[in-house]
Amino acid sequence: MATEKLQFHEMGLDDRLLKAVADLGWSQPTLIQEKAIPLALEGKDLLARARTGSGKTAAYAVPVIQRVLASKQSVREQDVRALILVPSRELGQQVQAMMRQLTAYCSRDVRVADIAGKADVSAQRPILMEKPDVVVGTPSRVLAHLNAHNLLLHTSLEMLVVDEADLLFSFGFEDDLKNLLCHLPKIYQSFLMSATLSEDVQALKELLLHNPVTLKLQGSQLPDSSQLQQFSVQCEEEDKFLVIYTLLKLRLVQGKTLIFVGALDRCYRLKLFLEQFSIPACVLNSELPVQSRCHIITQFNQGFYDYIIATDEHRLADPAAASQAAGKGKKNKARKSKEKEYSASRGVDFQNVDNVINFDFPVTVESYIHRVGRTARADNPGTALSFVAHTETAFLSEVEEALTGDKAESSLKPYQFKMEAIEGFRYRCRDAMRSVTKQAVREARLKEIKQELLNSEKLKTYFEDNPRDLQLLRHDQDLHPAVIKPHLKNVPEYLIPYALRGVVNPLSNHRRRKRPTQKLKPHGVAKSSFKGTNPLRSFRYAKKTANKKPSHSK
């Protein structure tokens, strides 16, 4: 194998594609791009595993676009030549955005259609009737169009890409994928891209690939310690809330942060807890419409807010049940999550994430890798901090064993945090938690769903035709998720640990304004008395009129 690093301009790519790559600021290909693109251009099937953030999307997007451009030179007929299957709508939007950037100078020759969105199948029919060169979608949506004869692939398809292949079965797409294969031609080039090579990926390999080249890049699926710093802190349930409050309120954690918890109810529990201290955070709720979730992610990426609370394990409300389920095989886990087409740690394009906090420690090594892989992407640095209760130490040991391997040094270093230094905050946290009841969590979830229903563009026309339904929805009982206690907003200086008083300034936004120097007012005189008539002067005026009385006695 050649030892010199292959550059984009040495891969025989179209000039328009090279120009788009230059506009993106890619000076040289990543490892997965350097290895995968030349093999793909040779027509080989690929099974590629590389860590999150390593550039897998471009590793297949570049050869797909190049092959479409090459086909256009010999075949003039417009047809669908490439199909990209994704496990979620969010990932579909991410892939389409990447394809648009790479086809900036050849968009007339390479047309891309994303059918993974929220639109109905019938609404997407006109797009597919134009026969775009590349179609991006989930297996269920693609199969629906195939059954409706909106899409024909058995004669024209040349390339099939399965992105995040290890998620397709766990998201319940097993049957859809198998049915979809009946509509494909006998010969086509396939790419399977994944962050892990699980049993599901091996099953897909047997179904889709023909004598593939397997690329197992980066033995460590996370960046090294020079780019990603990983810490763990031992703390029990109550201490978790105490530590997260201290980290965020004293700004010991700065920058855009993803906070992962074990269940959706705990997302809202943590959000309501932080609200007590005026720490704004949003929940990435899989129950909300996809457009709402995408809007949350877009605003997060644009810097509107710093904290997102999310979960990627819908079955973790009971850790014991989760660990028991882990031993029952992949199929059981797939069935449990079949109704979910969403995972916050996978398939979502979070940009420039500075920190990942595992409020609840993940129960599998893969989950830890995918969560922490949201930060330290490309060449950016990142930090991961995991809270570990005594019931979660076994999961921590599994992760350390998988990440450390033969290394003598542990990947997760103990976070130097003295619990006794923040004991003064404990009574505040307990005070806040009294308002975060199960009923408050339930009402908060209902309130958010109702707000999203009212904001839904699709329902606006329905409510216009059925105003009674809107009236019933709006006049439901008031929701008061949690009573906000104003005194919890600020942090008294005497509570700040002595070691941190010279480092952090939690009151920078809450300092009392210096009032201009002013003379003391006479005691008992109203403030309004200094505006307009002064009662003391009117008294003197009355005294002068009394002195004129002797003049009348003449």
Domains and CATH numbers, the chain: 8-216 (3.40.50.300), 228-319+338-436+482-500 (3.40.50.300)
> End-to-end CA distance of the chain, in Å?
130
pLDDT of residue 16: 95
**For residue 218, pLDDT beyond 70:** no
Residues 174/162, Cβ–Cβ less than 8 Å: no
**CA-to-CA distance for 27 and 421, rounded, in angstroms?**
47
pLDDT band at 256 (very low <50, low <70, confident <90, very high): very high
- From 28-37, 38-47, 273-282, 309-318, the region with the lowest mean pLDDT: 309-318
What's the whole-number mean pLDDT along residues 444-454?
81
pTM of the model: 0.64
* pLDDT above 70: percentage of residues in the chain: 75
- From 139-143, 359-363, 400-404, 451-455, the region with the lowest mean pLDDT: 451-455
**For residue 171, pLDDT beyond 90:** no
Name the pairing type of β-strands 257-260 and 307-310.
parallel
**For residue 284, pLDDT beyond 50:** yes
Q: In what order do the strands lie in the sheet with 112-114?
A: 112-114, 134-137, 82-85, 159-162, 189-194, 46-49, 213-216
Q: Report pLDDT digits (tens) over 367-392.
A: 898 889 888 876 789 999 999 999 99
What's the whole-number mean pLDDT along residues 426-445?
89
Q: Report pLDDT digits (tens) over 467-512.
A: 777 666 543 333 345 566 666 777 777 677 766 666 554 433 333 4
What's the whole-number mean pLDDT along residues 22-38?
91
Structure tokens at 443: 């009402």
pLDDT of residue 11: 93
Q: In what order do the strands lie in the sheet with 307-310?
A: 282-283, 307-310, 257-260, 355-358, 382-388, 228-234, 412-414
pLDDT of residue 300: 87
Query: Among the ranges 46-55, 132-141, 278-287, 480-489, which has the highest mean pLDDT value?
Result: 132-141
**For residue 219, pLDDT beyond 60:** no
pLDDT of residue 206: 86
pLDDT band at 148 (very low <50, low <70, confident <90, very high): very high
Q: Report pLDDT digits (tens) over 308-325.
A: 999 874 433 333 333 443
**CA-to-CA distance for 244 and 253, rounded, in angstroms?**
9
pLDDT of residue 501: 67
